[in-house]
Amino acid sequence: MSLKIEARREIPRNLLYSTPLLAVALTVVAGFFIFLAMGYDPLRALYHFFISPLLSLYGWSELMVKAAPLIIIGVGLAVGFRANVWNIGAEGQLTVGAIAGGVVALAFWGEESAVTLPLMCLAGIAGGMAYAAVPAFLKTRFGVNEILTSLMLTYVATLFLSTLVYGPLKDPLGFNFPQSRMFGDAALLPLILEGTRMHLGTLIALAIAVAGWVMMTFTIIGFQVRVLGQAPAAARFAGFSASRIVWFCLLLSGGLAGLAGLFEVAGPIGQLIPAISPGYGFTAIIVAFLGRLHPLGIILSGLLMALSYIGGETAQVEVGLPQAVTGVFQGLLLFFLLASDFLVRYRLRWRAPAARPQAAEVGP
């Protein structure tokens, strides 16, 4: 007997949408045994990881604060992924967006006005777009794989941010700490819930998800993106320019990542510091796939992944789990999602071993 992998002719839709739930369940089960093996009370650890953050209004507001960048970036990435454009460098685009928007805030420091914040948003978007334009140009002009270029540029961006906050943008009154001045009030996103950190960006994130859904479902641009992803030859047949779609996807995902970065520095952080994101740009890749590359699904998966950040912190405080547990959970989730997706597209069949190469003789 041997195992044989067969492609399914028709992909069952209900299976496609139920695998994220299956993946979450498997992650919880795996987490249970990991905690057990580490010598923690698994039920208590899981409670603090998944349940206790949801028991207070503050917990929910923090969830929204963490989910906002994930949703904003995830929606942009999902559009690209639908067209087989693999922007893995959202973290870098987020960083450059934060730098661009932050520089605007610092330039207006002390004389902020009503236009400061909108200008910062535009600068953030433009920064992310410009940074994503590099892989777009290399891909469309020279056929360079955007996975490599976008990923590698991430590290450049992070180092560039460090250079700035250790150097020219360092707060002159900051006791030599590597951070910029605190942004002025008019350069900060307004809070929408008193006593929490929930800012205007969380609502904008939801609006972006809805807009992304409208674009992908009802417009010719979304149609072009979907056709290119599903059947590149058909896209060319229809006269859709593949390189224009690649440009569009990278600029869109880069611009949104830049906006998310700006929202971080103009929201919860309020200044430029060397580390502005706990890997939102990478986690958003998981968010996009977990949400089935569907903008509305991404709202749900963004909330779930935000929970993994907050749950990780809570479990750290309450149970004394190491910080790495957040990354472990995110990794497990992606692993189980990809594994169960494989089973959606293929099925395993036991097969009798191939008969010995021997032609059956029938007759004389």
Partner 1 sequence: MIAPRLEVPRLEVKGISKRFPGVLANDRVDFAVAPGEIHALLGENGAGKSTLVKIIYGILNPDEGTLSWDGAAVQVADPNAARALGIGMVFQHFSLFEAMTVLENVALGMDGAEDMDALARRVREVSQAYGLPLDPERDVYTLSVGERQRIEIVRCLLQNPKLLIMDEPTSVLTPQEVERLFETLRLLAGEGVSILYISHKLEEIKQLCDRATILRGGKVVATCDPKAETARSMAQLMIGAELKTVTRRSGGSAGAVRLEVEGLSLASEAVHGTDLKNISFAVRAGEVFGIAGVAGNGQNELLLALSGERLADHATALRLDGQGVGRRDAGQRRKLGLCSVPEERNGHGAVPGMSLAENAVLSAHHRLGLVSSLFIRAGAAARFAAAIVKNFDVRTPGTAASAGSLSGGNLQKFIVGREILQKPTVLVVSQPTWGVDAGAATTIHQALADLAAEGVAVVVVSQDLDELLAITDRLAVINVGVLSSAMVTREASVEEIGLLMGGVHGLAPEEVAAAAAAEAAKESAHVA
Min dist. Cβ of residue 48 to partner 1 (A)? 43
Min dist. Cβ of residue 225 to partner 1 (A)? 12
Comparing CB distances to partner 1, the nearer of 3 and 220 is: 220
Residue 15 binds partner 1, judged by CB under 8 A:
no
Beta strand 346-351 with 2-7 is antiparallel
Q: Which of 143, 239, 320, 353 binds partner 1 (CB under 8 A)?
A: 239
Q: What is the per-residue binding string for partner 1 in 199-238, x denoting contact by CB under 8 A?
A: -------------------xxxx-x--xx--xx-xx-xxx
C-beta neighbour count of 238 within 10 angstroms: 12
Comparing CB distances to partner 1, the nearer of 2 and 176 is: 2
DSSP sequence for 154-185: HHHHHHHHHHHHHTTTS-TTSTT-S--PPPPG
Positive or negative CA dihedral for 172, 177, 178, 179?
A: negative
| 327 Cβ contact list (under 8 Å, min separation 6) | none
Comparing CB distances to partner 1, the nearer of 173 and 360 is: 360
Near partner 1 in 58-97, by CB under 8 A: none
* CA distance linking residue 36 with residue 44, whole number of Å: 11
Comparing CB distances to partner 1, the nearer of 111 and 361 is: 361
Per-residue tokens: 150: 């976008």
* Residues 299 and 275: beta-carbon distance below 8 Å: no
DSSP sequence for 42-66: HHHHHIIIIIGGGGSHHHHHHHHHH
Comparing CB distances to partner 1, the nearer of 243 and 323 is: 243
- Secondary element (H or E) of residue 350: strand 346-351
Q: Which of 240, 247, 263, 329 binds partner 1 (CB under 8 A)?
A: 240
Comparing CB distances to partner 1, the nearer of 236 and 349 is: 236
Comparing CB distances to partner 1, the nearer of 37 and 360 is: 360
Min dist. Cβ of residue 218 to partner 1 (A)? 5
* Residues 313 and 361: beta-carbon distance below 8 Å: no
Min dist. Cβ of residue 240 to partner 1 (A)? 7
Near partner 1 in 343-362, by CB under 8 A: 354-362
- Secondary element (H or E) of residue 2: strand 2-7
Please count the residues of the chain.
364
Per-residue tokens: 52: 């206790």
- 197: closest CA among 118, 266, 284, 120? 266
* CA distance linking residue 288 with residue 286, whole number of Å: 5
Q: What is the per-residue binding string for partner 1 in 296-335, x denoting contact by CB under 8 A?
A: ----------------------------------------
Min dist. Cβ of residue 355 to partner 1 (A)? 7
Min dist. Cβ of residue 343 to partner 1 (A)? 19
Min dist. Cβ of residue 294 to partner 1 (A)? 14
Comparing CB distances to partner 1, the nearer of 263 and 289 is: 289
C-beta neighbour count of 199 within 10 angstroms: 23
Q: Which positions lie near partner 1, rule CB under 8 A?
A: 218-221, 223, 226-227, 230-231, 233-234, 236-241, 354-364
